[in-house]
Every structure is written in structure tokens, then in C-alpha cells.
Amino acid sequence: MNLRLYDTAAGDVRDFVPLEDGKVGIYVCGLTVQSEPHVGHVRSAVNFDVLRRWLLARDYDVTFIRNITDIDDKILAKSAEQGRPWYNLTYDMKRLLDKAYADLNVLPPTYEPAATGHVPEMLELIDLLVERGHAYAAEDGSGDVYFDVRSWPAYGELTHQSIDDMEPAEDADPRGKRDPRDFALWKGHKPTEPTTASWPSPWGRGRPGWHIECSAMASKYLGGAFDIHGGGVDLRFPHHENEQAQSRAAGFGFASYWLHNAWITTSGEKMSKSLGNSLLVPEVLKQVRGIELRYYMVAAHYRSHVEFSFEALQDAAAAFRRIEGFLERARTALPAEFHVGTSSGEEPWLSFAAAMDDDLGTPAAVAVIHDAVRLGNKQLTEKDEDGLKSTYAHLHAMLDVLGLNPFDAVWSGASGDDTKLTNAIDVLVAGLLEQRNEARAAKDWATADAIRDRIKAAGIEVEDTPDGPRWTIDGGSN
RNA sequence: GGUGGGUUGGCCGAGAGGCGAGGCAACGGACUGCAAAUCCGUCUACACGGGUUCAAAUCCCGUACCCACCUCCA
């Protein structure tokens, strides 16, 4: 069985064959750190995190580079608006972004290069493009350097467009451009912009254009040719088209596969257009736990639009709690010394793997997980310990691939205070449950139910099981 | 104008010629003092109009509507 991925450049699903056996290099366009991360922003990170985890599960040696863009027009505009240095804005936003990633169990990349740390590499690349006749300094003395799209016949190949069919941008400022579609590799410093946002170059002080950073950083950390380049659909054009054009014009092979994740929208429109803060990651995490939000994202295919709604989010959370509930019951039922091994060529792993190999078919993979949960619940009631061990172990392995294993240490609070608290509650609840048991033994149902209601009022759910009552804090363990 | 994607049941969300993913909700049953949880069962579908085929949600043609991108965007 082979992994197959949808490649935007090919417009179809292709067998994944890495350039070097057993190794995969991935470059993902991260965020421009100019505002607080909302749910839409983190989807991309979650989607590509799943890709990465699946490749790791397939025993690939994965190098995963995800950049941040920390200098651009918007950053300068916003920082000016907010009356603080641009580098303070980007630094703050980056810290919030890191927190959001961590809350969603997105693995840290191998490295996270920032544009401003790679100006020399970009200048080197621009120089090479000028030398090869694919770039030119603006003729109006602005200090800009442009990529010459007409000099690169393959321009448009990634998004299957021809230059002549492209609508010139309404606000295109022709300045010193030879063709309105030429794009900036380097932007000459403007007196209205802070000098801290400019770097020396052969063309005078200035700052990098948007696209060049990814070309420079990808080749620095992954080599001139690498396996997978990812990002949101909106980046296909112009960003990725331009990246590919300039890299290939410079003589690099660049990416073999292009993967693009779809949007999360609200009321049918892009989140960036939505007003209000309710979709910022920390806000959403007031309603559901990080693992539940992640489940919501993983349960949809990465190439499908997700129409965000809190109702759907709550449904997803309920579905996830079913999985979690089983795992907790199974863990209690299994001997404490039972350790989960690695998964192998058995069901349901095989079905799960087949789903994942099919262009990361997480919806089908999640269905396999639910089937396993149903089977496991049956094994639990039938006291089929061997079967239960196997199901439990497989679920661990599958959930690990999706980054959704509730027992993963990342989901529990950072402090050890949780355990203390749990123990304290356990002692208190145990006392009440003892009273309730006495009442039940005396068939005094009114008293028994009153005690249960009282515990419930504290947000603690009591369930009677064949092995006696057990309690859980409402809505999971967060 | 060009390019790409979509429309599935009460809701979410897969599938891509036959064998009805899955979850949530609802209903019935089992279990329970009652619940909860769990299990078993049931129900509501493929935007519209044609066509191809023994067989279409799936392929083809057309129509409608929606979304994204065309140099700020995850």
C-alpha cells in the first residue's frame, strides 16, 4: 500500500514517492504574525501536523519547516496604527500563535525560520535571478527589484493559468514594472516606513517582497529540491505560483508535491472578514477543550470547506467524548501493568492506514476509530480482556497519529496539582457515595437521588457500573 | 473574462458505477430502583433536467445556486 496525496500542480491524486528513500522534507507556509490567531489560522497547522504524524508513523525521517512572516505591509500598517514598533507586534503575535499551536497539540516544527532572519539568503537569491535575466531593478529609481514573469515561460503552471488570461490587479501600481504582473522581490525603503524595517542591499536599503522568503528559506533548510510544500488554498496564487517561478528560474527543482488545505468559513465567508473576537482560538477554547477542537478539525477532510458553527463544534466534542469515555473505562478495566505496544498489520489498523494513505482520509479514519470504540465497549461488557487489550492498543496508536490521544501528556494541565485536586474530590465524593449506597440498600430512592443531585450540582456526574459507582467531572477533565 | 472547488438525510460529515461510512439528534428494545453509560434495532439522502448503462449519489451533457483565487490573506 502506498501513500497517495492530492497534488495541486498535477490537479490529481498521485503516489507519494520521496526524493530520497525514507526521508521527507516538508515546507509549510505559516502565518504572517500580524494579528491574534483565529480558528481558521490553526486549521492549516493541524492539517499538516496530521500529515507529518502519518509520515512519522510510516517510519519516514521527516524534516518539517514552517516559517513565519514577520515583515510585510500589513505588519507595518498595524504597528503604526497601534503606536508600537513592528517587531514588538510580531513578537507578541508569535507568542500567542505558539500558545494556540500548543493548545491544539501541534508538534513544534524541526525549525521555524522567520523572514527577517534570512535577508542575506534572499538577497543572494535575488542576485542570482538578476544574473540569470529573470529579475530587474525598477527603472523608476524606487529601489524595488521585480521578477520578470515574461522571462519565465512556465509562469502559471502551478495554478494552470496563462499570463494573458490573468486580470491585472485593480490597484496595480505599474511604477517601474515591465509587466503589471511582475512581482516585487525587494521593496525599496520608503521614508514613511521605520528605518528598523529596512536592510542594506545592492539596490539600496529596503525590505524583502513577500514571496522570496519562502524560496530562500525552503532551499536553505530543505535543499533546492524537496518533497512537499503546503499551505492554505488562498496561497496557491499568487504566493506559491511566484515562489515556484522564482525558485525554478533560479535553477532549483523546488517542491515535488503541492498540498493545500481548504478554509474554515463562518456564515459562508472567510474568517478574516468576520468581525468580532469569538473565533479567536482562546475564545473558542472557553467552550471546548483543545483536543475537542482538534477533533472537530480532523474529522473533516483537509481539502473540504468547513462551515464553522458552535453547534457543530459541540457535536464533535460529544462524539469525541464517546471515544474518550471508552478509553477511560478500558484503562480502569485493564491491569495496571498493561502497556500499549506499537501497532502492526492487523485490523483495525489496516483499515485506518488505508484511509490515511488515501490522501489523508481522516473522516474515514475517524469512522474506523468509532467502529473500534463500539467493539471495545462490547469487549468491555463481555470481559474479553485479550480483545480489549488489542482494541485499546490500536486506539492509542490511531489516536496518536491524529494527535488526539487524550492520555498524551500534552493535554493534561502542566502542573501536578491536578492529581492533588482529584484526590481531594475523590475523598469527598466517596463519602457522599457511601451515604447514597446506604440509602440505596435501604431502597430509600428519594435520599439516594437527592445525594446524586447534590453531587451533580457541583458539576460531577455519577454513574453506577457493575463494579460500583464512578464519578467524572462534567464535560471531561479540563 | 480566466482558474479551481462545491450542492448528500433534522444537523455535522464521508463516499465516487451494484454490496447504503461514521457521529450527533430522534424513536423502539435490552440493562438499571430511576438515571447515566453501553449494546441491539429503526428512521429521514444524494441541487435540478436530460443522457449512457442490466445497474448512477457516483460517468456524460445542460441548468441553477454557492464558494475561493486572479499580486493583503491559513
pLDDT of residue A476: 45
- By C-alpha distance, which of A298, A302, A359, A347 is closest to A2? A359
Distance from CA(A330) to C1'(B28), angstroms, rounded: 29
Distance from CA(A12) to C1'(B51), angstroms, rounded: 27
Distance from CA(A364) to C1'(B57), angstroms, rounded: 18
* Cβ(A27)–Cβ(A243) below 8 Å: no
What are the mean pLDDT values of chain A's consecutive 10-residue runs (478 residues total)?
A: 86 90 95 90 93 95 96 92 94 95 95 96 96 91 90 90 71 69 92 94 93 95 96 90 94 94 75 66 90 93 87 89 92 82 78 91 92 93 91 93 92 63 83 88 88 85 82 59
Residue A134, CB half-sphere, CA atoms under 13 Å: how many?
20
Which bases of strand B have any atom within 7 Å of the beta carbon of a protein residue? 1-6, 11-15, 21-25, 32-40, 66-74
pLDDT of residue A277: 67
- By C-alpha distance, which of A64, A65, A59, A63 is closest to A3? A59
Distance CA A250, CA A248 (A): 5
- Residue A165, amino acid: D
pLDDT of residue A125: 96
Nucleotide minimizing C1' to CA distance for residue A465: B37
Going by the DSSP 8-state scheme, the letter that residue A20 receives in this structure is B
Q: Quick one: which H or E segment has residue A400?
A: helix A385-402
ipTM: 0.90
* Cβ(A37)–Cβ(A281) below 8 Å: yes
C-alpha cell at A4: 497517495
| Residue A214 is labelled as binding a ligand | yes
Strand partners, A207: A187
Domain residue extents for chain A? 4-273, 308-411, 417-473
Class of domain A308-411: mainly alpha
User: Span A4-273: which CATH code?
Assistant: 3.40.50.620
Query: How do beta strands A254-261 and A269-270 pair?
Result: unpaired
- By C-alpha distance, which of A389, A391, A295, A396 is closest to A342? A396
Distance from CA(A313) to C1'(B11), angstroms, rounded: 11
